[in-house]
Structure 1
Amino acid sequence: MLGDIIIEEERYTMKRWWRCLLIVALAGLVWGSSTSGIADEKDRYAQLTPKYRKWLTEEVCWIITPQEEEEFLRLKSDTNRERFIEGFWEKRDPNPLTRENEYRDEHYQRLEYANRYLAVGSTRKGCLTDMGRVYILLGKPDDRDHTYSSNIVLPYEIWHYFKSPAPGLPPGMRIMFYRRFGAGEYLLFDPLFDRNRIFISRIRQWEFISPEQIRDVLGLEFTQAYSGIAPGYSTGFSSQIVEELRDPTWLKETIVSQVRSVPETGVVVDYTFDIFALSFEQVNIPTEEGFYQCHFNIEIPSEQITLKEEEDKLLGKVKFLGSISDSKGMTIARLEETAFLELSKEDYPAKQHYNLSLRWRADLVPGEYNLNLLSFDKLGRGQGKVEHTFTVDELRADRWLLSDIALGYKAVKANREMVEKGLPFTFGEYAIYPQGDATFRRGRGVMVAAELLAPEGWMPEEEPVTLVLSVEKGGEKKVLTSVPLSGIEGGGRRMVFFDSISTETLPPGEHTISLEVVNLSGELLIAEQKRCTLVDQPIEYGKFIINAQRGVDPVHLEYLFGLQYFLKGEYLKALPHLETAALKKPEELSYQVMFIKNLVVLDRLSRAEELVKGLRAKFPHDPQVLLIEATLLAKREHFAEALSRYEEVVKGGFTSAEIYNAMGMLYLNLKNNTKAREAFQRSLEIDPSQPEIKKLLEQIKGNYYK
């Protein structure tokens, strides 16, 4: 998803700011500005003869830089192309004094191996697969662990690099590949974004609900590789390396500049990078519906972002990847945003100190969570991460509840579009603009916002309370304002907003802002605190803003809450949310399927069967519906009927080794060894690497099942 960039400009210092220099980067404008441009790009490849097209798109596609590729495509004659190729390899020759070009020889050996051995299950050449790309970039692994298909576990492979395969990469690397649904080519596994459930057969997934159960089945090697790409490496940093292996634009640049020698493991590449000086803020807002709106603000100083010159512009590109997982390791929310910066050279000096601000919102049910967020400069060497553990508290109707405090340098009235889109840091009627490190210029007003929930049964007339805003430094507390609480009833919610509190009389340094709710007798009912820093020097408040949250569909939120509870194993709590989503949007098949899965786990088979019957009427040939029905029938021991559903799925063109294995097991239950043997043989045709199925076939031939 591409980030919509908004420019917020503050005229605080005496300097007169120039025009806005960042052009809003909308997805359609960035990628789809001209269909003719796409056609022209295709024509440029089409003009190449097969020899040179193959060289560009297969032989060197993982090591040629974008600039080199552009230069090659501009050439008009084969003579010039041959000269270019000669220079391409000369540039990469680690020892020009010898006749051999060790880099080129090593590269073509890797290319040949990838094409011969790494195209398993793929319709593409091996060099174009994930395995082929990693092999070409990092060389032959020191060891490889294979796990073949069984009735439970899908095939996967782990590559071990005992020594560091390149400077900047850790020793003990373990790169994992898996086959989606047990078929097709091997795909690169991302420890941050891919779930361990993808390694379990879809037919057997409901037997292994928790990550612990799955890891027990898959074993120690899997657990280690699943946890990180190397010992001591977090899933966040592991994901950074995986991202570079998937999109090696930066690696291509470093290959050219860092080739020094070719040891046994292959080409030496410098993977070191600069660390972004990130600032991070989180604000959790409770809602009357029982969940929390969690708002995140991550800022990067723009002077740390690489800008490359193109004609009369300066261009930058920063990618953000993030995830929120629960205490069991299940991914609850994901983020993928790319910020495209386009600046004029004339205006750059005035805006060079603006921060790039990513604002994200995720709606979460109570629980323990881990946030992993990565950012990396796609045109330079800057990278950064945020790893943060936080708790979303249980909401209780019998007590006061106050959200985290949000401090901002600016607040505006939230319009209808802001509310409908559910933009981050939108509090009731106002949108707050946070300052990443909570540092403000002394003397300038600071906005304070929070959300307050009153307990059920509270009567404001009988039990009046007061809101007290104060600031504390060095043990000295100063009340800034105190106002009676109004406009809220028992069980209700109200935004608390203080517009531009004065800081002129406060000394510079770190302060603690406190918001308290007290009754007439002075008893403290609830309080929240937030630290901030006041300084005397001018502060740049201009921002390049990316709002990662898009429109919020309340029905989809119900589905997400149900899914969160389901993944946490709290199936009874998940039930009303999934049911609400399924009832309000019966046309959304994914809502119906998830609701039925929850019913199956709760062993409410009659209701599940009733719903499946309705889905069969609406979606008579959908494989998801047929597979769910087959599962229910098998659970009821209606083996023949379950088989008929699988056969219908297969006739519809949806086949996999797991489906044939399930059919084989059903045939065995029906004492039909001949049909069982045929089903298992079909499974092995799709995936020959299934030793347990081969063993089962031998048992059938030996009349094991009677």
Structure 2
Amino acid sequence: MAAAIFLGMVALPAIAGKGKDQEDQKLTKQERRRQKAVQKEMESPYKQWINGPVGYLITPEERAAFKKLTTDDERDTFIEEFWRRRNPTPGSPENAFKEEVYRRIAYANEHYSSGIPGWRTDRGHIYIMYGPPDEQTTHPSGGTYVASPTELPYSGPGASNTMTTYPFEDWTYRYIPGIGENVELEFVDPTLTGEYHLTMNPCEKDAMANVPGDMTGCQGGVAIGSIWNPNLVISPNQLGGGSSSRSGSMVTSNIMGHQYDEFNRLDLYSKIFEAPSVKFRDLQTLVTSTVTAQLLPFSVRTDFIKVTEDTVLTPITIQIPNRDMQFENKEGVMTAVLDIYGELTTIGGRVANTIQDSVAVSVPQHDFQAYVNQKSVYQKSVYLRPGRYKLSLVIKDDKSGHMGTENLGIVVPQFSDDKLATSSLILADQIQPLPTSEVGSNRFVIGGTKVRPSVNQVFTQSQNFGIYMQVYNLGLDPKTHLPSANIEYQISKDGKAVLNQTEQAAAIKDASEQITLEKTMPAKLLQPGKYTLQIKITDKVKDQTDTQTTNFQVE
């Protein structure tokens, strides 16, 4: 039997060689010449690019596509596209991602070199992929170290939590996409050469682990996982039920603990070196294609707030019926997750801005029946120059896979610095001032005020009805240095006024050349029906008027 197996193994190379000869015979001289040319070209700087530090970021699909390219022009185009896909501000000539990657490479080469370039080391590899850790503890000289109980293979009577270590470092990332939260990595230099490597075994830093009779650190128990010390008192086979005996004492084993579970560590080790995926690529593909999917319907509106004469704050507000989302019960909390991708392009096709976000919608299970009949609102504000744009949006439900798309044209207005003008007239179900500490950290914020627009401008009688609008370039009275303007509000139904109100611009808080109109009232003061709101500003100093009108509904 053994002879038969041996003969079979010897025969395999001959078969493989024959197959290769037959394959070579099928290739024409021209094809062989082309393959040699491609191979030679791949030994050029292009090979250095794909096999260098940037190679850490290249996905397997991209690498396979790159190897199929046959000309330098194609490779140049590929490299340009590689960086463009990862540009956080598409269309911009500056690519912050590319600049950050090369900064990380320079840092790795400066700080982690050890006979080989820093980018080739494990620390350099991780640093280039994920940037600096959120937390870092270094022990460059090793020495005496007090280990936490979870770092040792057991704890109990007679166990010591001190060890003499090789140089090592602990890195912690609070979150790495595709891997998880609180990712802890340990690098050890057991050769004392400065070349730290990523380890799966917390006992590898124990410099005394292989010294018989030394009962500090990992001695006296097993090292974590499949790597263990044959000189130790207890072997893995003696463990049972999460505890083991030593000298008649019960010793609690940490091996079964989640933190150092062997499979979790192997999974982390395999994932940590994988190239990060390009986020929202499936949604971007849908945005740039002509496919339309409406399994997840939504509504969208845009508003325009002046920042400077050539910069306009443009809040993009999206409203989605909760009933169209797929919720999942997690410990008594119903949760749905939406991925949102959008592009704003100029009439010339240049991408002016993008939206990329994941949003979790959560509600306690006992409130879910009422909540499912309501709607959720999301907002992203971008800064745009005046002009015409196309807004393309795709929303995907993470759990059901359903998608919805929307394409609309928007015209960002040009606000002059001298003519009376107004922002968009926004009807909102929430208008409230924010503490200074929350101004920059919330959606639905304009200046220091939270303004949540009603996308469809439909209010129930249980809601508040809010009005928000900014007025620009008011003339100032030379005596009072305050604006002199009338502001008239009128709500009408079926052509008949049901509410009229007038106020003076000078009476508004912080009145100057620019004022902000903020009004709220209970919607129950209006009977169900369709209404028209008109706001007219009459500037007595400049003798100019501006009128804004919009429709809304009360149910």
TM-score (norm 2): 0.48
Structure 1 or 2: more helix by fraction: 1
Could you say which structure has the larger radius of gyration?
2
Higher relative contact order (Cα pairs below 8 Å, separated by 6+ residues): 1
Structure 1 or 2: more strand by fraction: 2
